[in-house]
Structure 1
Amino acid sequence: MYDVVIVGAGPAGIFAALELVSAKPKPSIVMLEKGRDIKKRVCPSRQAQVPCRHCTPCATLCGWGGAGAFSDGKLTLSPEVGGMLEDYVGREALEDLIAYVDRVYLRYGAPEEVYGPAHREQFEDLQKKATLAELRLVPLPIRHLGTGRCGEVLQEMYEYLQQHVEIRTGTAVHRILTENGRVAGVECADGEVLRGRHVIVAPGREGAEWLSREAQRLAVPTTNNAVDIGVRVELPAVVMEPLTRLFYELKCTYISRTFEDRVRTFCMNPYGEVVMENNDGLITVNGHTHAYKKTENTNFAVLVSKNFTQPFKEPIAYGRYIARLANLLGDGILVQRLGDLNAGRRSTPEKIARGVVTPTLAEATPGDLSLVFPYRHLLGIVEMLKALDLIAPGVYSRYTLLYGVEVKFYSSRLALNRNLETPVANLFAAGDGVGVTRGLVQASASGVVAAREILRRI
């Protein structure tokens, strides 16, 4: 019998464990992660420069550190973005949590430098241009870890926690166990039962679909989150350099003229690379910036957020359906020049080779994204790129590359109280996979919220 069972070793699970072991006496804790130890998280296709081998689970998405282990490692130190945790704890408490989480990352090796709107005149000038382009510019202080350093920070956390916590990697959880309306533990995929007085489920985006099924089985109410679907944009780094030099990441939102859908930029990676991810057999696209090596390109996502009304209840299934079309047409990821998309023709290897942007994801198949995206999504993406061109000339170039599909698999949002507890007593939920957060900082903070309530009860 453990005091706490933690399902998932991403930021939410790790920070929950760090908070729990700060207590005296320390509670008994077991962490369960279906992926591998971070040192063993190796993508064979990237190592050998060959197409995705469809490993299960995907080493890029699963394992110690979660999907963020090989991400760009951006800590957005503002409650303006990164999730809906404010809805549960309030604005002031969230600001305190963000500052606390940031201090923990610094303790484990995060760099001191913070990017942001420090140059007031330059920021005001950019904001004027953004307003004229009908863009809402979100100023953010950002601490950038970078792929590579992010892994080093997570390794330091692992080495500390393994002294106080039982950590089991390569251990998938089959179901959550309850008795008389209270959580009782979990059953692993191999049939082993682990009893626990408290359970924190933090399965990340890759585990969102599993958690949605478990919520339905346990009669935990859920509401639909927006479905975020779009493309990964890649262009010469010099196009965005005047902005990324000051702010590192440009966060903009735009309301499309035609359908009034919300479109946003996400995860900007100066001098980075475009990468593939295997979401349980579904190949999607993402982007990284390495801490120690650079490319000549910058990439970022443009995502269309769409809320669906009843009776629709399957946002994850909808996102998977769109991504599956790209996999069907391109045997993985499709890439297309913006000029070809606007001209109604597919891209070819020869056309892309003639351009000024050399793809960093060589495995992507040149093709036609108009055969994949719904019309309103595609139109929203194109309108957003036109608006961005007004503040960063060169974005709307015929040579700009669009990779598809990028999908953010946010779980249906579970019914949770202010301590992130479900209607099942002592069952807590945290992180991106439960539909509450959308990034490293708020995911980490959500783990702290759940852990503090458990410590109060213990």
Structure 2
Amino acid sequence: MKKVDVVIIGGGISGLMAAYRLIEEKPGLKITLLEKGHDITRRLCPIIEGKVPTCINCPTCGIMEGLAGAGAYSDGKYIISTEYGGWLTDFLPQSTVIKYIEKADAILVRHGATTDRYQPSDELKTLCLKHDLHMQQAQVKHLGTDANYKTMMDLIQSLRDKIEIITDADVTDADGNEKIVTYTHKKEVHTIHGDALIFAVGRAGSRFFSQWCSKNKIPLINNQVDIGVRVELPYAVWKHFSEVIYEPKIWFRSHKYGDITRMFCFNERGHVVMENTNDIITVNGHSFKEEDKKTNNSNFALLSTIKFTTPFNDPIDYARHVAHLGNLISGGSVLVQRLGDLLQGRRTDEKRLKANTVQPTLKAVAGDLSLCMPKRQLDNIVETLFAL
């Protein structure tokens, strides 16, 4: 059995950055990084290539899995702030979190990322407050999907001769006591021992990690779930925000339920795209720097957050079931609906969709979201749309 100093499970940005920083601090470390998906040079999506109109459930999703992770095809936003973006400040002082964010940014800049930053705007924050909307502030960098991909390529290339990278390696178990990782590669089962194991499995591996924690009696404290939609509209509607801060990060507390619903992942003049996570098809947004790839629409996610209480403790499967219902109703795709039809309790059909003033950038199935989304979350989303 092979023995190394560190085994990193997952080749997304977390795994890559962990390897990068470890090698920086201790160049002699023996590190093996195991990635379930393909090498970044082999990550292909037939939808993006124009070969098929909808997801065909590739055995390995070229968008969600592979070296550089789901972020390889994201729109490349980098947030320098502690106001949002996770729960690190629950464990570290804000100053320490910012220090590490800046360190990560310096690494990305070293590999081609832009140095330009959008600055916070108190004027826009005040405008939001006048309408009972709350805008979180941050310095924001926007690389664009195209430039972000090049940065990831360069970062990975700098690691290839310093660590061992094994792609198409599906980790099936990790023994935390014996420090042994079991994985399949080219239809053969392998084991590897690491003095330290790092889980960096990302969104595609969240279910695996949750089950692993349960198996090893490790309690999980995050029992909330975000259910939402991706909203697409003419880019001019949000132009006065995006030109100043790029991403409006706005949240609203619904009057009906008191739940938080928030804007997430804004893409100016971008595309809505499908992605496949463990056979569940959802949507995301991409935005390019190159002018010829821009559209006349901007898009953003609108997510309603629900925090569950005992005895329920499986928010990941809850979200999967909601998304699966949408896939079921749409015949293995995703649904698109006009806001006007949603408000009138009417299913959108192809005729009304073609006559709509805003044409979607994604070929999706016209339908009725109320048939697959829980009422509470859908009510929250509609109320927030009116507030916005």
CA change 1:258–1:220 in 2 (3 A) is: same
Structure 2 residue aligned with 1:184 = 179
Measure the CA separation in 2 of the matches of 1:24 and 1:258.
54
Mapped to 1, the partners of 2:228 and 2:248 lie a distance apart of 17
Alignment partner, residue 194 of structure 1: 192
Listed one character per residue, the Cα deviations across residues 190-249 of structure 1 (whole Å, up to 9, x for unaligned) are: 421011110001110110001111111122122233100100000011111111111110
- Residue 97 of structure 1 aligns with which residue? 100
Unaligned stretches of 5+ in structure 1?
Answer: 118-122, 389-458
Alpha carbons 1:183, 1:198 under 8 Å: kept: no
1:268 corresponds to which of 266, 269, 284? 266
TM-score when normalising by structure 2: 0.95
Larger RCO, structure (CA 8 Å, separation 6 or more): 1
Partner residue of 2:145? 147
One-letter code aligned to 1:320:
R
- Deviation string 1:359-400 (CA, Å, 9 cap, x unpaired) is 1001x1000001111111111101111111xxxxxxxxxxxx
**Cα deviations across residues 249-279 of structure 1 (Å, max 9, x unaligned)?**
0000110110000100000000000000111
Deviation at 1:100, TM superposition (A): 1.0
- The 5 A counterparts of 1:208-247 are 208-247=206-245
Residue in structure 1 matching 2:86, options 71, 83, 88: 83
**Aligned counterpart, 1:391:** none
Partner of 2:370: 370
Aligned partners of 2:20, 2:92: CA distance in 1, in Å? Answer: 20
Q: Does the 8 Å contact 1:185/1:198 carry over to 2?
A: no
Aligned equivalents of 2:301, 2:249: Cα separation in 1: 10
Code of the aligned partner of 1:50: P
Check the 8 A contact 2:12/2:69 in 1, yes or no. Answer: yes
After TM superposition, give the deviation of residue 110 of structure 1 in Å: 0.5
The residue identity in structure 1 corresponding to 2:53 is V
> What is residue 53 of structure 1 aligned with on the other side?
56
Residue 353 of structure 2 corresponds to residue 352 of structure 1:
yes
The alpha-carbon deviation at position 146 of structure 1 amounts to 0.9
Secondary structure of the structure 2 residue equivalent to 1:206:
coil
How far has the Cα of 1:25 moved from its partner?
A: 4.3
1:41 aligns with 2:43: yes
**Corresponding residue of 2:31:** 29
Q: What root-mean-square deviation, in Å, do the aligned CA atoms of Structure 1 and Structure 2 show?
A: 1.1
| Aligned partners of 2:223 and 2:309 also within 8 Å | no
Matched, 1:256 2:254: yes
Partner of 1:206: 204
Separation in 2, partners of 1:314, 1:24:
39
Specify the alignment match of 1:156 in structure 2.
Answer: 154
Query: Aligned residue pairs: how many?
Result: 379
Q: What whole-Å deviation, never above 9, does each CA across 1:95-145 have from its counterpart, x for those lacking one?
A: 11111111111111101211123xxxxx34422321121111112211111
Task: Please state whether the residue corresponding to 1:81 is helix, strand or coil.
Answer: coil
Could you say which residue in structure 1 is the equivalent of 2:21? 19
Residue 124 to residue 29, structure 1, CA distance change in 2 (3 Å): closer
* Deviations, residues 266-305 of structure 1 (Å, cap 9, x unaligned): 0000000000011111111111101222011000000001
C-alpha distance in 2 between matches for 1:286 and 1:261: 23
1:428-439 alignment, distance < 5 Å: none
Amino acid corresponding to residue 335 of structure 1 in structure 2: V
Residue type of the alignment partner of 2:183: C
| AA in 2 matched with 1:11 | I
Structure 2 counterpart of 1:309, which letter?
A: T
1:29-78 residue CA offsets vs partner (Å, 9 max, x unmatched): 00000111111111013311422110122110000111111001100110
Q: Contact 2:223–2:313 (CA<8 Å) still a contact in 1?
A: no
Task: From the superposition, tell whether residues 25 and 206 of structure 1 become closer, same or farther in structure 2 (CA, over 3 Å).
Answer: closer
2:349 and 2:265 map into 1 onto residues whose CA distance is 27
Which one-letter code corresponds to 1:95 in the other structure?
Answer: I
Contact 2:108 2:155 in 1 (8 A): no
1:55 is paired with a residue of what secondary structure?
A: coil
2:10 aligned residue (8, 11, 15):
8
Q: 1:183 to 1:110 in 2, by over 3 A?
A: farther
Partner of 2:172: 174
In 2, Cα distance between equivalents of 1:6 and 1:256: 41
Unaligned runs of 5+ in 2: none
Conserved 8 A contact 2:303-2:381: yes
Aligned residue number for residue 441 of structure 1 = none
CA-CA distance at 1:350 after TM superposition? 1.1
Secondary structure of 2:91's partner? helix
- CA deviation map 1:323-342 (0-9, x unaligned): 11111111211000000000
Partners in 1 of 2:353 and 2:253 — Cα distance? 30
Query: Is the 1:34–1:62 contact (alpha carbons within 8 Å) kept by the matching residues of 2?
Result: yes
Alignment correspondent of 1:120: none
Query: Are 1:312 and 2:307 counterparts?
Result: no
- 1:11 and 1:266 map into 2 onto residues whose CA distance is 19
Aligned equivalents of 1:87 and 1:367: distance in 2? 41
Cα distance in 2, alignment partners of residues 89 and 56 from structure 1: 39
Paired position in structure 2 for 1:421: none
